Amino acid sequence: MQDLQSFNPEKDTVSFEMMLFIVINTASIQLIPFTVIGILADFGAKNPSAVVLPTLLATLLSAAFAAGTLFVFRKVCK
């Protein structure tokens, strides 16, 4: 964030790049949910790795929606 702030001409405001970084970081894209797979395996699930694709799709869609919303607000508020 400090590196992004160094490129910001207005030091007292958040730049668009900083907002985009926060949005993507908050969406926390989960590639392989090891904890959930472990819990499902401990409870005897037949295919605990079946959650990988739905988890990946859900996190990618949420990140895309959040970034899209940020881009819409950027267009509307300018």
Per residue in 35-59, pLDDT (tens digit) is 999 999 999 999 999 999 999 999 9
Of residues 69 and 13, more confidence is placed in 69
Q: Which DSSP helix (H) or strand (E) runs through 35?
A: helix 34-42
CA angle 7, 11, 15 (to 5 degrees): 60
Cβ atoms within 10 Å, residue 25: 11
Average pLDDT over residues 7-30: 83
Amino acid at 46: K
Q: What pTM did the predictor assign?
A: 0.74
